[in-house]
Chain A
Amino acid sequence: AQKVTQAQTEISVVEKEDVTLDCVYETRDTTYYLFWYKQPPSGELVFLIRRNSFDEQNEISGRYSWNFQKSTSSFNFTITASQVVDSAVYFCALSEASGATNKLIFGTGTLLAVQP
């Protein structure tokens, strides 16, 4: 069975601090995809990144970076120099690559509060 665990329920940091959001996943599939979504206070779900299980290269996009480690089944998300606008709930999700479609299994989310 597939499962995504985000052990950190809430994190509070002060602006300009770096923060890492943890994500650990379980799957029996050899090919799968991992995602991060952001849910700001306004409520919409915003796609941040999609990563193929065959691609373990870390990715950087501005202040955001992602560390994918297959050996530990983790896909962690780091925000560098956090800003108040980063305050949101962040969801990690897993999708199998086989089968008829690509439904997402979500973690429970991490609420990030960035204080000014």
Chain B
Amino acid sequence: DAGVIQSPRHEVTEMGQEVTLRCKPISGHNSLFWYRQTMMRGLELLIYFNNNVPIDDSGMPEDRFSAKMPNASFSTLKIQPSEPRDSAVYFCASSKWTGTTNTIYFGEGSWLTVV
């Protein structure tokens, strides 16, 4: 079975440019998460969706960040404009929410470098 698929795997961009990260969750999963990993802050939750609806975006660092989930099989995380401090690994993850906690599976991550 296909896991969580993220693209691009690596991106290097210049400060001020728009960055769009993409995610395809595991088929049948109805919860989707965006995490960011940095040396300073570790793994932090940015936003999560249930049934395509954003439930909690309190982890989104600022207005430059936005996330969408137009359908059950696709989500984007956009940074506009990007800054060097946004350099991190961005993980997308999904799970099947059935009213109780289920395992969350992660994609391979998108490694973003903003220069």
Contact = CB atoms under 8 A, between A and B. Distances in A.
A44 B100 CA distance: 25
Given A33-B101, A44-B106, A44-B108, A103 B89 contact: no
B94 to A, nearest CB: 11
A97 interface: yes
Interface of B: 31, 33, 42-43, 45, 48, 50, 55-56, 89, 91, 93, 95, 97, 100-109, 111
Contact of A104 (B56, B104, B111): B104
A100 B101 contact: no
Interface string A92-112: 000111001111111111000
A2 to B, nearest CB: 11
Nearest 3 Cβ contacts at the A-B interface: A102-B101, A45-B106, A106-B43
Contact of B48 (A44, A45, A101): A101
Given A43-B89, A50-B103, A109-B42, A103 B108 contact: no
Contacts of A37: 106
